[in-house]
Amino acid sequence: MEQARLRARELGLTPGIFNTGTHNAITDVAGVAVGHVTLIDGEATRTGVTAIIPHAGNPFTDRVPAGLAVINGYGKLAGATQLAELGELETPIILTNTLAVGRAVEALVDWTLARNPDAVSVNAVVGETNDGRLNDIRARGVGAEHVLAALDAATDGPLAEGCVGAGTGTMAFGFKGGIGTSSRVLPEGLGGWTIGALVQANYGGVLTMDGIPAGRELGKWYLKEHTDRGDADGSVMVVIATDAPLSDRNLTRLATRAMAGLARTGAAFSDGSGDYAIAFSTHPGVRRDAERRAQQAVIADWPNDRMSPLFVAAAEAVEEAVLNALTMATTTIGRDGRTGRRATGHAIDLDALRAILARYGR
C-alpha cells in the first residue's frame, strides 16, 4: 500500500531561518492563484498543466514587473526574451511538458485575446520540463482545453503538490518529482514582505535535504558510477512571487537567488538541464497599468541595500518547495516516451527518510 505522503516540515525538515506563511505556499502572496490539470490516461499518459496567475485583475492591462534568471538554458521557455527585455509579465505563467509548449502558447494567447479585444501582440510565457521518462511525451496528450481548464481552476489558499499538474510525470534526483511550493514572511523590521515559490522539479544531482546528504544515505546519486550518467539531466522551472515593491531589475536579482535554493538541494545544473526562475511582484505601487504607463508615473522601488533578506527568503522558499515536491510525490507507473517501455518512478521512501533524519538528530 502506498505510504501516506507528508510535507517536508511534517517530517522535521525546516530549512532556513524565516517563518513560513499561513499555507506555506506561493499563494500566501495575496492575489496569486494556482490551478492544476492532471492528465493520467491509460498506461502511457502521465503529464499535465500548472497555471500561475499573478493577481485577480487583467494581467494584460495591469502588468506586473518581473525578472528572469537562467543558469543552464537547455529548455524551451516561450516568451523569455520579451520578459527579459521589458521586465514585465502580461499573461499568467503556464508550466507543462516540453512538447506541449506550442499548444500552451496558443491557448494562453486565446485566453488573453478573449479578455482584451484590442490586443494585437501577446507575450505568452510558458515554461516546461521533459517528463518523457514516465510519460509518452510524443503522443502530445496536452491540448488547449487542458491549459484553459488549469487557468479556470486557479485558486488561492492551500495547494496540491507532488504528482499534480505539470509535475505529474516528472522525476528528481532519481526519485519521483513533481510540483512543490513554500513561502517565507519577513519580520516587520525587514519590511514584513511575503515571498512564495513554486517549483516544477524534474532535475538531478546529489540530493541534500536541509543539509542532510539524503541521496547518498539512500544509495542514489549522480556519478555514483563513473560510466553511468546517473540522475543529473532534467530541468526545473521556478516561479517566485512577492508583495515587496521591487523593480524588474531587483526581481531579476531575486530570481537569481532561486539558484542558491536549488544548489542547497544538490542540483547538478548539468549540460542537459534547463534551470529557469521567474520572479514577479504584486505590489500595487509597481503595477504597470495603462494609466500609469500613459502618465509616465514614478513607481515604488525597494532600495538595493535592503534586498538581502529577500534574497535569503527566496532561497529558503525554493529549497523547501523542492523538498515538498519530493516528499509529496507518489510512486508512478507510466511509459518511457523514448523507448515505449513500462517505467516506474519510485517516490522517496518516507520511512527510510525518517530513519536517516533520526540519525542526524531530526
Beta strands in 203-331 (DSSP E): 234-242, 273-281, 288-289
Amino acid, res. 312: V
Single out the catalytic residue among 182, 235, 247, 281. 235
Single out the catalytic residue among 62, 131, 275, 281. 275
Q: How many residues does the chain have?
A: 362
Q: Identify whether the C-beta of residue 299 lies closer than 8 Å to the C-beta of residue 286.
A: yes
**Residue 179 is inside which H or E element, if any?**
strand 178-185
DSSP label at residue 346: P
For 68-136, give the DSSP string. Answer: EEEEEE-S--BTHHHHHHH-EESS-EEEEEGGGHHHHHHHHHHHHHHH-TT------EEEEE--TTTS-
SS3 for 214? helix
Catalytic-residue membership of 273: yes
Single out the catalytic residue among 182, 183, 270, 273. 273
Catalytic-residue membership of 121: no
Catalytic-residue membership of 233: no
Q: Identify whether the C-beta of residue 198 lies closer than 8 Å to the C-beta of residue 35.
A: no
- Catalytic sites, residue numbers: 235, 273, 275
